[in-house]
Structure 1
Amino acid sequence: MRLSLTPLGVLLGAFFSTTVLAQDGDTATITDYDVISAPALSSDRIENEVLIEVTTVGPRLIAVGAHGNILWNEDSDWQQAEVDTSVLLTSVAFADEQNGWATGHHGVIINTNDGGKTWKRQLDGFELMGLEKSYFEARIEKLSAEIESTDGEEAIAELEWQLEEAQFQISNIEVAEEEGPSKPFLDLYVKDSNTVWAIGAYGTFLKTENGGDSWQVISGQLENPGGYHLNTIFGRGDDLYIVGESGLAFASYDGGSTWQTLNSPYRGSLFGGHLDANGDVWVYGLRGNAYVSEDKGQSFSTIDTGTRVNLSAGTSTESGTQLIVGHSGTILEIDDQLNVKNRTHPSGSVMTDIIEVTEGKWIMTGRSGLLHWPAKISEEEAVATQQGAQ
């Protein structure tokens, strides 16, 4: 049974819209769920606000982050998109140059059909609670029937444990119905303009096959009875991968129809993953731990990263170099011989994503907003301004 978020969840949780107010000597916690439907606020400093992920869409760059902020850049100037929510956005992906999705806190999924200039909600936490409640109620009914018709103490004990977990999930949903939705989505994978998967905290796993007109809970496809957090989903073609808390690692080799549990190389939390040009699987997470698999996740080799900071996200460059970013301004540059060059951005900022713009030039997102490599400011300037952006 799950009671707490991973360190990545704690980082993202810092941006929950929860305030503590004192009135007449009493202290009460007030959670304002208007952020779900309140539009993103415009800002002339949006490039310096918290940003979580950045992607390329044809000639355009698109970044998402705090307060529903979405930026897009086609030439040189970043512009703010119109977004009908102000929750913290955690991921973004596109099916083509027009159709894309982003996920966020409070169970929000949004969609664009004009290349990222305007975004509308497709799902929110209230609807998510309804979907999950129906799913777990059906699961409880199914497990109860199986227990009645099953022989053998061991088999019955396993079914009873699964039943207890499903009942626990229902209890959590009932609490959320009273207090409001807070479950965050953490990542998504877009196969095409119809098929999208979304993952999140406490084992949340959803899929749409009609472009988001409706979503279905598919958490039971993963062997995750403890409801551990699912942090990243990535893939190419029919090969899809999910990694998460406590070393969770899953793979699908049939386009997401079925999933198998991988023998994880690490029992701590894995925050990020990507595929390189050869299809090798890279995963990384807590305390500088990083691994690569040349056989689709069946076995992994350890990368000597030379760092103990948490690693968040990565990408494979056109030249075949792997780039992985993390806390304290860390940028790992790994060549095809697995030699690691450990760079540090002068901002020293927490970084959450990285893409290659042109060879040797990268854009990162993180606590300080948009960051560049080569950096545009010195360490002294970053400290002086307390911004670290650029």
Structure 2
Amino acid sequence: MKAQSLLASMLIGAISLQTISASADNNFRDVLDIPAAITELASKQLITGLTLAGERIVGVGRRGHIVYSDDGGGTWLQSKVPVSSDLNAVHFPSPKVGWAVGHDGVVLRTTDGGLSWERKLDVRMAQKLFATPEQADSDQASKTELSFLGVWFETQERGFVVGAFNQIFRTTDGGNSWELWSERAENPMGLHLYAVRAIGEDVYICGESGLVMKLDRQAGQFRLLDTGYGGTFFGVTGTPGYILAYGLRGNIFRSIDGGKNWRKVEGNISTSLVADGVTQTGEVLLLSTDGQVIRSPVNGEHFRKIPGLSAVPVAASIVPLNDDKSFVVGGGRGLSKQALR
């Protein structure tokens, strides 16, 4: 079971307090050079990404905070993180090895189940890798924006990170080296990419203006799919039998033929859907920005709201727990555990 948070950039921008302003402060230090502060409030602030690492719950959020729970969300501990950049998404291809991504081009890796993290990429490293000689000489490369919003790894060593302005990076050696895949995607307008996800054997990326792309493994390219929708998709999920793309104003579209044809699904919700989770029994949960959760018990064809949930201001992430009786939601005030049944 996997879960992933797909948070719109406008939501991140509205919440983040990490904006750096030009000032005369001679003590200024880049957030890339400052380890995340250890604080008892880490689990009570914005958590933008949630997933499971085996039985452990791992959440990422503001100012480089990463927290984890080994008792089903009852108590939370904080991980050691080498940066203070805002983090947006997290994925574990195995219980021990996981990846987290965020602003400033940050890509982090853990090999101990999320207890500690190491930097595998940031904006400064990326621009040195991919800058032209002219850019390198003028220091232009270091000023380029780089924000990652989604991450997915097929194995512990091989995976993709995606983000704003069609940014797609790929590694096949655990982050020791990176390939720039942006020109391998049918996204000529450079639309923002909010999520990357495998469903069955296929890999999908979704983003602005109804964008959904599917990996053509043989060609080594992401091919554009026609969803018939022009609004933003914040996430893509499903099981090997079907695909769901969801986003603005509660819109959900479903395909049962690998993305060739799509049909709108009624979710009975009007607020934007930003995160998803799939339970052990195959139920799909979709989370809205105002903390509502809708679920589909059968193949993503019909959704209904889960009643009686506690309020979650600025909801951003969700993960169903392995007991299939509860889930954890992350939002602007941290984490809360909710009953599924």
SS at match of 1:83: coil
Q: Contact 1:240/1:255 (CA < 8 Å) preserved in 2?
A: no
1:50 maps to what in 2?
46
Q: Are 1:310 and 2:261 an aligned pair?
A: no
Q: Amino acid of the residue matched to residue 355 of structure 1?
A: V
Q: Deviations over 1:121-177 (max 9, x none)?
A: 111111222334349x9xxxxxxxxxxxxxxxxxxxxxxxxxxxxxxxx8xx97664
1:331 maps to what in 2?
293
Q: Which of 307, 320, 341 is the matching residue for 1:356?
A: 320
Deviation at 1:42, TM superposition (A): 1.1
1:36 maps to what in 2?
32
Deviation at 1:284, TM superposition (A): 0.4
Number of paired residues? 326
In the superposition, the TM-score normalised over structure 2's length comes to: 0.87
Worse-superposed segment, 86-95 or 9-18:
9-18
Q: Are 1:219 and 2:182 an aligned pair?
A: yes
Q: Contact 1:112/1:118 (CA < 8 Å) preserved in 2?
A: yes
Report matched runs for 1:1-390 at 5 Å.
8-14=8-14, 15=16, 17-19=18-20, 34-75=30-71, 76-134=74-132, 177=142, 180-236=143-199, 238-254=201-217, 257-276=220-239, 278-336=240-298, 338-343=301-306, 345-357=309-321, 358-374=323-339
Distance (whole Å) between structure 1 residues aligned to residue 280 and residue 7 of structure 2: 31
Sequence identity (%):
28
Q: Deviations over 1:90-133 (max 9, x none)?
A: 11112322221110101111111111111011111112223343
In the superposition, the TM-score normalised over structure 1's length comes to: 0.77
Worse-superposed segment, 315-324 or 191-200:
315-324
Instruction: Name the structure with the higher helix share.
Output: 1
Q: Contact 2:64/2:84 (CA < 8 Å) preserved in 1?
A: yes
Distance (whole Å) between structure 1 residues aligned to residue 222 and residue 166 of structure 2: 14
Alignment RMSD, CA only? 2.7
Runs (5+) with no aligned partner, structure 1 = 1-5, 138-169, 376-390
Deviation at 1:204, TM superposition (A): 0.4
Worse-superposed segment, 68-77 or 113-122:
68-77
Distance (whole Å) between structure 1 residues aligned to residue 53 and residue 189 of structure 2: 36
Q: Amino acid of the residue matched to residue 281 of structure 2?
A: S
SS at match of 2:30: helix
Deviation at 1:193, TM superposition (A): 1.8
Distance (whole Å) between structure 1 residues aligned to residue 159 and residue 219 of structure 2: 10
Q: Deviations over 1:278-309 (max 9, x none)?
A: 43111101111111111111111211112221
Deviation at 1:346, TM superposition (A): 3.1
Distance (whole Å) between structure 2 residues aligned to residue 41 and residue 255 of structure 1: 44
SS at match of 1:247: coil
Distance (whole Å) between structure 1 residues aligned to residue 128 and residue 145 of structure 2: 14
Distance (whole Å) between structure 2 residues aligned to residue 114 and residue 256 of structure 1: 35
Q: Which has the larger radius of gyration?
A: 1
Q: Amino acid of the residue matched to residue 266 of structure 1?
A: Y
Distance (whole Å) between structure 2 residues aligned to residue 334 and residue 237 of structure 1: 18
Q: Amino acid of the residue matched to residue 129 of structure 2?
A: L
Distance (whole Å) between structure 2 residues aligned to residue 327 and residue 286 of structure 1: 10
Q: Contact 1:352/1:366 (CA < 8 Å) preserved in 2?
A: yes
Q: Amino acid of the residue matched to residue 206 of structure 2?
A: V
Distance (whole Å) between structure 2 residues aligned to residue 56 and residue 7 of structure 1: 18
SS at match of 1:82: coil
SS at match of 1:354: strand
Worse-superposed segment, 344-353 or 102-111:
344-353
Instruction: Name the CA shift for 1:215/1:336 in 2 (closer, same or farther; >3 Å).
Output: same
Q: Deviations over 1:51-105 (max 9, x none)?
A: 0111111121111111111111223431111110111111111232222111010
Q: Contact 1:238/1:254 (CA < 8 Å) preserved in 2?
A: no
Instruction: Name the CA shift for 1:192/1:93 in 2 (closer, same or farther; >3 Å).
Output: same
SS at match of 1:351: coil
Q: RCO higher in 1 or 2 (8 Å CA, sep ≥ 6)? A: 2
Distance (whole Å) between structure 1 residues aligned to residue 155 and residue 161 of structure 2: 14
Q: Contact 1:363/1:371 (CA < 8 Å) preserved in 2?
A: yes
Distance (whole Å) between structure 2 residues aligned to residue 109 and residue 19 of structure 1: 20
Instruction: Name the CA shift for 1:364/1:209 in 2 (closer, same or farther; >3 Å).
Output: same
